[in-house]
Amino acid sequence: MARIVVGVGGGIAAYKVPGLVREFTEAGHHVDVIPTESALNFVGAATWEALSHNPVRTSVFEAVDAVNHVRLGQEADLVVVAPATADLLARVAAGRADDLLTATILTTTSPVYMAPAMHTEMWLNPATQANVSTLRSRGIAVPDPAVGRLTGKDSGPGRLEEIPVIAQEALALLDSATPHAGEAPLAGVRALVSAGGTREPLDPVRFLGNRSTGRQGVAVAEALRDAGAEVELVAANIEVPAPDGVEVTSVTTAAELEQAMRASASEVHIVVMAAAVADFRPKEYVGSKIKKNPEDDSAPVIELVRNPDILKGLVEDRRSRAKDRRVPEQGGQEPSASEDADVLPRLIVGFAAETGDENASVLEYGRAKLQRKGADLLVVNEVSETRGFGTPNNTVAVLAADGKDAGEISGSKRYVSEFIVDAIVKRLAR
C-alpha cells in the first residue's frame, strides 16, 4: 500500500514502537526502520529487522552504494518518528543531517509525523516549544504528547501517545496526501484477478494442493482497486481476508477456476493470473475415504491427469476473439478501428513460481514460460519452504513479452503489488 519510514528516537518509549511497525507491516505496508544510535540502547537492530523484514542502519556511511541517506527519503510515502525526543526535535528543526534518520527527514517530500515523548519539563521548555512551532510551520505534523505516567513516579504531558492513535493519525496524513479516485490511473478499467491455490480432491477428506495462501494475489487485487480499477477476484482457497470493494467469486478446483476466469475474461481490460494452479489432478475421485488395508502394507496407486493450462487458454481465447473481430462473416462488413481496439482483455499478466536447477536459473525458466504461454507480462518469483508462499514479503521479476522488462522488486507483498500495478499502468498507456 505504501512505503513507510519509521524513525525511532533514543527515548525509553522506544520499547512501544515495535507495535507500530507490526501494525504497518500487517496492513501490507513496506516499512524501513531507521533508529538513532541512542535508540538501539533501548531496542536492538535485530528486533527492528525481524519485524520490518528489512535491514536496519543508522549511519549515512552504511550501504553507501545504495545512497540510503537520499534514497530512503525520496522513496518514502510517509515518515513516522516515535518517540520524537527533545534532542531529535531540535536537530530536525535546525535542519541537521548528522545521521541517517535526520538526513532522510531532510530529503523527503512526503508527509512527516513526529510523535513526541519526553519528561514534562523538557516538553514545556521554551526551546522545545519553539522547535515544535518551527516544525509545524514547515508542515511537519507534531501532535501534543499524551498526559500520563512517565518513566519514574512523575506524571504529566510528555507520555508517548498510544500506538493505535499514532498509526491512525499518521495514515490519515498519508491518505490526505494520496491522489484519490478522480486522479486514479485505472479509473474506468475493469480487472480480473485470480488468487490462492487450487485443490484437487482424492476422496472426501484428501486433496492434492499447494502452499499458496493467496496473499500476493489479494494484494494485487487491492492495489488495482486503489488505482481506481473495478476488480473481480476469483479466490481459490485463500487464507487471508478478501479485500473490501472487490467482487469475489470463490472456487476450489482448477476446473472451477478455469470456468470462472474464462467466463469473465472477455468483459475486462486486465487479467492477472496470480493463483497457483495444480498441474495435475487424480484421474478418478473416490467417493469414500481411501482406507489402509490392515492385511496389506502396499499403498494405493493414484493415477494423475493434467489440468488445463488456464493462462495459455486465456491468451488463446483473446487471440480467437481478435480474429473473429478482424474477419467479418460472409456478406458482413469490416469492423471499425474502434471495435478492433476494444478487443478484451488488453493485458494478460501471468505469475510463475519457479525454482532453479542445474539446467537453468529461475529467470531462464521464467522467460521460457513467458514465451510458451503468450502472456504480455509474467511475474516470476523463486519459491522454497521459506520464500514465496505464506510469507509476508516477496522478491519478483516482472518480465515482458516485448523485452521491455519492468525489473525486479523486493518488499512486502503489497509493495510488490504496487510495483506490478505500476508496470500495468505503464503498459496500458503505450
Q: Which residues are annotated as a binding site?
A: 279, 289, 308-311, 351, 369, 373
SS3 16: helix
108: nearest Cα among 173, 55, 45, 47: 173
SS3 112: strand
The angle that helices 45-52 and 17-26 make with each other, rounded to 10 degrees, is: 20
Which positions are annotated as active-site residues? Answer: 210
> Grid cell 523527503 — which residue?
108
CB burial of residue 56 (10 Å; 0-12, 13-18, 19+): buried
Establish whether the linkage from the previous residue to 345 is cis, with ω within 30° of 0. yes
- What type of residue is 205? V
Grid cell of 116 as nine digits: 513526541
Instruction: Assign residue 67 a region (left: φ > 0; alpha: ψ between -120 and 50; beta: otherwise).
Output: left
Instruction: Kindly state the DSSP code that residue 28 receives in the 8-state scheme.
Output: T
Grid cell of 411 as nine digits: 518488499
Residue length, the chain? Answer: 430
Grid cell of 143 as nine digits: 501532535
Instruction: Assign residue 214 a region (left: φ > 0; alpha: ψ between -120 and 50; beta: otherwise).
Output: left
Annotated binding site for CTP: 279, 289, 308-311, 351, 369, 373
CB burial of residue 87 (10 Å; 0-12, 13-18, 19+): middle
Task: Using alpha carbons, list the distances in angstroms from residue 211 to 7, 27, 236, 248, 361.
Answer: 35, 22, 12, 21, 22
What CA dihedral angle connects 114, 117, 120 and 122, to 10 degrees?
Answer: -70
d(CA 381, CA 362): 8
Grid cell of 349 as nine digits: 499478466
SS3 275: coil
d(CA 229, CA 361): 35
Phi/psi at 398 (5° precision): -105, 110
Grid cell of 212 as nine digits: 499458496
Phi/psi at 400 (5° precision): -120, 145
